[in-house]
Amino acid sequence: MKTNWRRRDFLKKTSAAAIAAMAAGAPMPGLLSSCSSRNKIKASADSVILLYMAGGMAHTETFDPKKYTPFRKGMESQEVLSTFKSVPTILDGIQFSEGLEKIGQVMDRGTLIRSYVAADLGHILHTRHQYHWHTCYEPPQSVTVPHIGSWIAKEMGPVNPVIPPFINIGQRFTVGEGEELKAFHSAGFLGSEYGPFLIPDPTSGLDSVRPPVGMSNKRFEARNQLYEKLVQESAMGEFGSDYQKESLKRSMEQAYILLNSPEAKAFDLSQEPKEKYDTYNTGKFGLGCLMARRLVDEGARFISVTTEYEPFMGWDTHENGHTRLVDMKKLIDAPIAQLVKDLDESGRLERTMIIVASEFSRDMLTEGRPEAKVKDQVEVPDIIEDMKNYGMHRHFTDGCSILMFGGGIKRGYVYGQTADERPCKTVEKPIKIDSIHQTVYHALGMDPETHYVIEKRPFYTTPDGHGEAELELLA
């Protein structure tokens, strides 16, 4: 296992893989890879909404609280397991961390996983673990690996041919580790038409699906033709295979069709009743949840909404862990709960799977996990004198929480368990990312053997095709 990765190494490898993806010809379906296998697996879901808590959401501060220790000057760091009180949920005997009361009241409609174990990737970088979470493959790879949303877009196709099958809401690529983030927001060898339709800010989502104000249709058409010419003269035009060029062309045509369609109104949040809009409006993430609900109504297949990863912001609590999470909980509690309720009341939750997840958890003392500790990236004093040191500051990979709702997922169910004392690691039913991915694919009716031949080798939806769906999560 390599432990001395630098961001520059990561970028070089993923950039080389991206160029290789351009030059790759059409991926050849494996003998066992086709959507005809859906006849063998009865699908329980049509659409997926991934709500991604980018930055490392501490399980002991959210959905798996431990003993509460209030702040006091002079306290020992090793005392701190949870910095919030526990509050009851609608499920008997199951508690959440204070500030997540609304989500707690809809847990009778979903499953709580308390035993997700993230991979050991050496020195921890958020974007490498995010790459692994979203693609199921450990970086770097010799090819550009498709995002889970791209696999679903390719194998399932669109529900509504006008709506892009894979939509990503809330992540900018001009902040922090932008290039690393781009590395996994890709359809890779599957082709650009299966990549994400990007909405960096849902408050201006309508601007993504209509020409700029004051631009005539004739001028817009001329600009579109110019864009096609620029693409031809770009790296894709120079190095891209015929398959990749055609895929990019189809993605451009699909975006152009959307611009002129009545379905584009799904991106216009101003059409939402004020009371409903205000419930979701906790910020970009909350409005992203509202847009996701509207897009599902119009026939979206896979939507990702993120709290956005920006180093040392949001869930990336290298300091001020407690005070930062007060705000993060206000950001997510009402919108997630309302999304579940709205889809349930409309009858769409039955066929729409919602996933709430993060790349890993956090702990006050342990970096990595007890059996695979890695170099500490933040100094935590033995004695806490300042509020900024109160909270979970180190990356913890051996006990993370995931919520799942709808799309065939069990209602009112708890899967797995972590220890009540430090290290608060998984002690029952560990589950890893390949099982999470295959459970999603199974619910959609996708064959676990789905793969394509790339560079004369089979490339599966999960590494070597070894991932297995966790059927215990499904009703």
**What CATH number does the domain containing 181 carry?**
3.40.720.10
Give the pLDDT confidence score for residue 209 in this predicted structure.
65
Domain carrying residue 361: 7-473
Question: What residues does 451 pair with on adjacent strands?
Answer: 460
pTM above 0.95, yes or no: no
123 located within any domain: yes
181 located within any domain: yes
pLDDT tens digits for 397-412? 999 999 999 999 999 9
| Residues in the chain with pLDDT values less than 50 | 1-3, 17, 31-39
pLDDT above 70 covers a percentage of the chain that reads: 82
2 located within any domain: no
Q: What are phi and psi of 226, to 5 degrees?
A: -65, -40
The answer to whether 460 and 146 have CB atoms below 8 angstroms apart is: no
Q: What are phi and psi of 336, to 5 degrees?
A: -65, -45
Structure tokens at 210: 């209509």
Q: Which distant-in-sequence residues (6+ apart) come within 8 Å of 233 by Cβ?
A: none
pLDDT tens digits for 65-85? 999 999 999 999 999 999 999
Question: What residues does 194 pair with on adjacent strands?
Answer: none
295 located within any domain: yes
DSSP label at residue 246: H
Residue 162's nearest CA partner among 298, 286, 290, 66 is: 298
Query: What total number of domains does the chain contain?
Result: 1
Question: What H or E segment, with its residue span, contains residue 231?
Answer: helix 217-232
1 located within any domain: no
pLDDT tens digits for 286-328? 999 999 999 999 999 999 999 999 999 999 999 999 999 999 9
